[in-house]
Structure 1
Amino acid sequence: MSVATALFVLIAALCTEAAFGYPQSLYRTVGHPVIWIGALIGKLDQTLNRDDLSDSTRKTFGVLALALIITVPVIIAWVIERALEPSWLGKLVIALLASTLIASRSLYEHVRDVARALDDKGLEAARRAVGRIVGRNPQTLDEHGVARAAIESLAENASDGVTAPVFWFAVLGLPGLAAYKAINTADSMIGHRTLRHEQFGWAAARLDDVVNLPASRLTGLLLTMAACVVPNGSPGEALRAMRRDARHHRSPNAGWPESAMAGALGLRLNGPKTYGTARVEDAYMGDGRRNVTAADITHALQLSSVAWALMLAVLLALAFISLI
C-alpha cells in the first residue's frame, strides 16, 4: 500500500469512527477486538502469573506473555491487510477494521455524559459517570474533583485512544495499530504496580511507556494548536505548562496532554488523588483554577474536537503532498 493510499485509508477510518463509533448491536453480537485481546491477557495472567513462582520467573513469564499478546493480533492483522489491500473494496474494509481501534467518539460521549450529569442529575450521578472512565475512587471526589477527573481522562485518552492509534497505523499499517492496542490493553490490565503485577506486568508497563511517547507529545502540540482556535483558549499558557509541568507527572506521557489542556483552559489539573483506598501524590499540571465545572468540561471537549480536526487536516495535507 502506498503512503498516499495508507493515509486515505486512515482518514476514512477516522471519519467512520467519528460518525458511527462502534455500534452497540455489533458489540452485543461479537464483542470488540479489545475484549478479545483482553481475554487472551486474562488467560495468560491466570496461567503464568502464579503466586508460587519467584519474582524473576514471573517477570520472565510476563515478557513471554507480552510477546504472545502482541504477536497474535499482529499476525491476524497482517494476514487481513495482505489479503484485502489489492482492491479498493478491501481497502475500505481495512478502514472499517481500523476504525474499531480508534476511540474519539466513545471518549467524547463518556466525557460529555459527566458534564450532563453534573448539570442535570447531581453529584452521585456524576460520580457514576466519571467512574466509567477513571481508575480512581469517585466517592472521594466533590463536584470540582469530578470535573477535573473527566478533563484529565479526556486529555490522557486523547493520546492513548486517538493520536497513538492513528500514529501507529500511519507508521506500520493495520499490524502496527493492532500491536499498539495489544500493548495498551496489556498495560491497562496487568501493568499496575500491585503485588500481583509488579513483576508479571513490568514489560507491559515499560513498553506502553515507549510506544506512547511520540503520541503524547503530538497530542500536547495538537491541543496547543487548537487553543488558537477555541474561544478563550490560551496557546501560550499551554506551551508554558507543558515545558514546566509535563516532566513532573507520575506518568512519562500523560503529563504532556494534561498540562497542555490545563494551560489552554486556564486550569490546574492532576495533583494528589485516591485509587481505591490508596492516596497517590502527583504533581499539578497548570497553575489556573482548581474549581473546575461542567462548563469547563464542555470547553475541554471543544478543544479536543478541534485538535482531532487539525490532525485530520494534517493527514489530508500529507496524503495530497505524497501524491505529487
Structure 2
Amino acid sequence: MLAEPLALLTLALMVEAAIGYPRRVYNAIGHPVTWIGALIAALDRDLNREDASPAARRIAGFLALIAILAVPGALALAVQTILAGIGLVGLLVAAVLASSLLAQRSLHEHVAAVRDGLREGGLEGGRWAVSMIVGRNPESLDAAGVSRAAIESLAENFSDGIVAPAFWLGVGGLPGGVLYKAANTADSMIGHRTPRHEAFGWAAARFDDLINLPASRLAALLIVGAAALHPHASAGKAWSAIRRDAGKHRSPNAGWPEAAMAGALGLRLAGPRTYGDTTVEDHWMGDGRAEADAADIDRALALYRTACGLLLGLAALLAVTALALSR
C-alpha cells in the first residue's frame, strides 16, 4: 500500500530532524554508509585489477554494482518484512532505521561550521571547515570561494543527501532508501574519472546519475518554494537561473539545486574549481555576485531549513492523501 512507505518517510524525516544520527550510536556500531562502504572497498580491492583491460574492468564494475545493491537491499527487505508483521511498533522502528539514510541535521551542522569558521577563525578557519565537506583544494580558496563552496555543497547535498533518499523511501520503503544509499555511496567511492576508476566505476556513476534525476528537479523546486517564503530571497530569480543555467553544469543533476540556490540568493555558484592540482572548468550558476560571505551562508541555511520543512509537509500531505484513497 502506497500510504505505508509515505508514512515511513514522514516519520523518518521527523526523527532525523529531531535527533540526527547520535554520535554515541556511530561510535558504537558505525553507520549504514560505513557498512556499505566496507563492502564497496572490498569489491574494489578484489575485482578492480589494474592489469585487466578497460572492457574487463567495466564488466567487473557492473558486477560489483549488482552486489553493492543486492546485499544491503536484501537485508533491508528482510528487515522491513519482519517489522511489517508487528504493526505500528514495527513502523516506528522502521522509521528510526530509515532516518539514518537522511542527513538534514548533519548537513546543516557541517555548513554552519564553515560559517562559524570564517567568523571566528578567519580565512584559515573557513578553509579547514570547508575541507570537511568538499573535495576541492581549500588552499586555492579565498573567503568568497570558501563561502561559495559551502553554499554549493549545501545545495547539492540537499538533493542527494536528503531529497533523493527521501524520494526513494517514499517510493520503495526501507529497501528503496537503502538501495539509493548503496548506489550513491558507490558513486562517491568509485564513480570518479581517475585511472583506477574510469572503467570500473562507470556503471556506478551512470546509475547514480539516473536515480538522482527526479530528486535533483524536486530539490530545485523546493528551493524555489522556500525562496518564495523568505523576504531576502527571490523565487523568480531562482526559477530563471534554473531555466538558464542548470543544464549547463557538468553534472546532469547538481546544476539544478545549485542554480536554484544561486538565483534565490543573488549569487554566482559553481564556475571554475580546483581539485588537488586539477582545475575543472564549469559554467557559473546564477548571474549575481561571486563575492559571497558568511552572511550568505546564513541566508542559504535559512532557505535550506525552509526547504526541508516543505519536504516534510509534502511527504505528510502525500501520506494522508494515499491513506484516504486506500479506504
Query: Alpha-carbon deviation of 1:73?
Result: 0.5
- What's 2:147 paired with? 147
User: Which structure 1 residue ranges, 4+ long, deviate > 6 Å from structure 2?
Assistant: none
Measure, in 2, the Cα distance between the counterparts of 1:43 and 1:123: 38
Alignment of 1:161-180 (within 5 A): 161-180=161-180
Query: How far is the alpha carbon of 1:221 from its aligned partner?
Result: 0.4
Number of residues paired by the alignment?
A: 323
- Superposition map of 1:41-60 within 5 A: 41-60=40-59
- Give how far 1:7 is off: 1.7
Instruction: Name the SS for the 2:274 alignment partner.
Output: strand
Task: Quote the offset at 1:8 in angstroms.
Answer: 1.9
Counterpart for residue 223 of structure 1: 223
Q: State whether residues 148 and 292 of structure 2, in contact with CA within 8 Å, keep that contact through their aligned partners in structure 1.
A: yes
SS in 2 for 1:122: helix
CA deviation map 1:45-93 (0-9, x unaligned): 1111111111111000000000000000000000000000122111111
- Check if 1:28 corresponds to 2:27: yes
- Map 1:90-169 onto structure 2 (within 5 A): 90-169=90-169
1:233 match: 233
Inter-partner Cα distance in structure 2 for 1:71 and 1:219 = 27
Moved more, 260-269 or 82-91: 82-91
Partners of 2:167 and 2:159 lie apart in 1 by 10
The Cα offsets for residues 242-262 of structure 1, whole Å up to 9 and x where unpaired, read as: 000000000000000000000
| CA–CA separation in structure 1 for the residues paired with 2:161 and 2:192 | 19
Q: What is the one-letter code of the residue matched to 2:29?
A: V
State how far apart, in whole Å, the 1-side matches of 2:161 and 2:312 are.
15
Whether 1:211 and 2:211 are equivalent positions in the alignment is: yes
Cα distance in 1 for residues equivalent to 2:189 and 2:321: 40
1:231 positional shift: 2.2
Q: Which runs of structure 2 are paired with 1:150-299 in the superposition (5 Å)?
A: 150-299=150-299
Instruction: Confirm whether residue 11 of structure 1 aligns to residue 6 of structure 2.
Output: no
Q: Letter of the aligned partner of 1:184 in structure 2? A: N
Aligned-partner Cα distance in 1 for 2:269–2:59: 37
* TM-score after normalising by structure 1: 0.98
C-alpha distance in 2 between matches for 1:36 and 1:277 = 31
1:83 counterpart residue number: 82
1:307 aligns with 2:307: yes
TM-aligned CA deviation for residue 120 of structure 1: 1.2
Q: 1:322: Cα distance to partner?
A: 2.0
Asked whether the 8 Å contact 2:8–2:170 carries over to 1, the reply is no
Which residue identity is paired with 2:273?
K
Please give the root-mean-square deviation of Cα atoms over the aligned residues, in Å: 0.7
State the TM-score, normalized to the length of structure 2. 0.98
Tell me the equivalent position of 1:63.
62
Query: What SS does structure 2 have at the residue aligned with 1:121?
Result: helix
Number of the residue aligned with 1:74: 73
CA distance in 2 between counterparts of 1:316 and 1:201 reads 37
Q: What is the identity percentage for the equivalent residue pairs of Structure 1 and Structure 2?
A: 58
Q: Secondary structure at the match of 1:274?
A: strand
Which 5+ residue runs of structure 2 have no aligned equivalent? Answer: none
How far the C-alpha of 1:323 sits from its partner, in A, is 2.7
Secondary structure, aligned partner of 1:111: helix
Structure 1 distance, partners of 2:317, 2:48, is 47
Instruction: Quote the offset at 1:315 in angstroms.
Output: 1.4
Alignment gaps of 5+ in structure 1: none
Residues in 2 aligned to 1:8 and 1:64: alpha-carbon distance in whole angstroms: 34
Take 1:7 and 1:54, find their aligned partners in 2: how far apart are those partners? 45
